[in-house]
Each structure stands twice: as C-alpha cells, then as structure tokens.
Structure 1
C-alpha cells in the first residue's frame, strides 16, 4: 500500500541501517576509494567521506555521509539514521570544526557549522525536494536535526 505524505514513515530496522553503512564503507576501502563516493546530480544526493578529529581521543575518525551541494559548500544532516542522539561525527565537529572531506574526484579541508535561522530553513527546504518524507523522518527524533554546512577551506584544498 502506498505511503501517504502524512503517514508514519517506515524505516528499516536499526541493525539493517548500520549494516548497510558498514557494507558501503567496506566497499569503499576494498576498492581503495574507487567505489562508494558520488556527486549529487539533479534532484539526488551524493556521498562523501568525512574525517573528523575525535573529541576524546584526538584520533582521526571517518564516516560516509549523504550530502547536497550549496554552491561550493556541502550540506548534510546530523540525523544518526533518524535515531535519537547526536551522531559521533557531529559531536566531533562541534569540538573540532575543521575536518577533511573526500568527494568523488577531489578532497580538501572544510570548516563545519550548524545552519541556523533563514539559512537552515532554506537548506532544509532544499533537502525536502530530495526526500519528500524529510519532516516525517525528523519527527521520529526527540531533538531537532542539525543541518551541517561544510565550508571548503580554499587555501588548504587538495586535488
């Protein structure tokens, strides 16, 4: 039966979400980065690999994330698979906002911040054009989902 826009969204079980991302990361590692990253096209999102500095360990921590482009900036959601709690990568960025991003065909340093006010509303609306159930998924969380903007640091870009 088709799901209406107001219906409760159906998410796969948490174990499945975690397994899917582990397989995705494994494929990326196995192919040495040749598979697993893609750029957003049209009305779709892309994937990037974000390497943060661990807030407790100071060690590099990497995660694969979906993103959309906003000019030269990349925008992602700190959604933790739509589960409660903030994802570790977002907590790390709040402590150490500079990070490394790998995209399909490019890499570089970025500085992260949470979008607020009109910027957040505009970027949330952009994501809503890609994911029609965005508001319903976000309602599954007890806290507001941060919209995270990754600003390239041009003087430290890598290619």
Structure 2
C-alpha cells in the first residue's frame, strides 16, 4: 500500500531541507553493493518558466551512466523534472562528494528491459512492477549520461 500523497510530498520537502541545512553532507548517497539505490540531486531548467529547479531522486549506476525512473510518486502524470529534461536534456547532478554535467535520454528497447530488471533488484522502490502498473502507462527509465 502506498502512503498518502501528502506524506510523500512532505518527505521530499524534508529531504531537500536536510540537504540545505547540512550543505549536502547528509542526504546524498551512492548505490550500495547490497542493493540499496543511491540519492542524487538533479538540477533542471523549467521548460515554461526558465527558472532553475532541483529535485532529489533515487538512482543506480550502469557503468558511467546514472539511471533513475520518471515517476511522480507512482501517480499517472510524468514528473515535471522529466518534462523539463525532455525539453532541455543537458543538466547537472550533485552526487555524494561530486557534481557532474549530464545529458538525459530515455532508455528504450532491450536497454530499457535490462535496466528495469536491474532496478527490480534494488530495495527502496518496493514492488516495482505492481507500483508501475498503478500509473496506467509505461514508466520512463531515464539515463543520465556524462557530458562528452
């Protein structure tokens, strides 16, 4: 069972506040070998407003790429950060101990299938297939590739 939307949003706000209060010393993490996803902060530019935006996301690593899911608390609509990235794919991520410029793209075909299967092995998402089915459409698997 999913927690209420207000609880999810409150947790997101609290996580962002924790990052600010600790100057990123607490709240960002790398994925672990025992299957816990990491946490990063993604910076985008609003596609309509042109304003800087930031969101904290869970991610896994796939070689040099960072991989996340374009989910909106498992609600139907795509999250604003994904809409922003589709408009302007160049972005910046803050990781535990580093920052990097990335280019976003959606994984498709066999790459998507492989990454989805890998994401299933990480705790924190819950029952990935069942939760994704609640959205009523396919959840985008987002690849954040390092800038050339």
Larger-gyration structure (1/2)? 1
Deviation at 1:53, TM superposition (A): 1.1
Q: Give TM-score, length-normalised by structure 1.
A: 0.89
Choose the corresponding residue for 1:38, options 21, 29, 35. 29
For 1:129 and 1:32, locate their aligned partners in 2 and report how far apart those are by CA, in whole Å. 31
Moved over 2 A (4+): none
SS of equivalent to 2:73: helix
Question: Equivalent residues in 2 for 1:101-116 (5 A)?
Answer: 101-116=93-108
The CA RMSD measured in Å over matched residues stands at 0.9
Alignment correspondent of 1:148 = 142
Question: Equivalent residues in 2 for 1:58-137 (5 A)?
Answer: 58-131=50-123, 133-137=127-131
Choose the corresponding residue for 2:17, options 5, 20, 26. 26
**1:45-100, Cα deviation, whole Å (9 max, x unpaired):** 00000001110111211000000000110000001111110000000000000000
Query: Where does structure 2 lack aligned partners over 5 or more consecutive residues?
Result: none
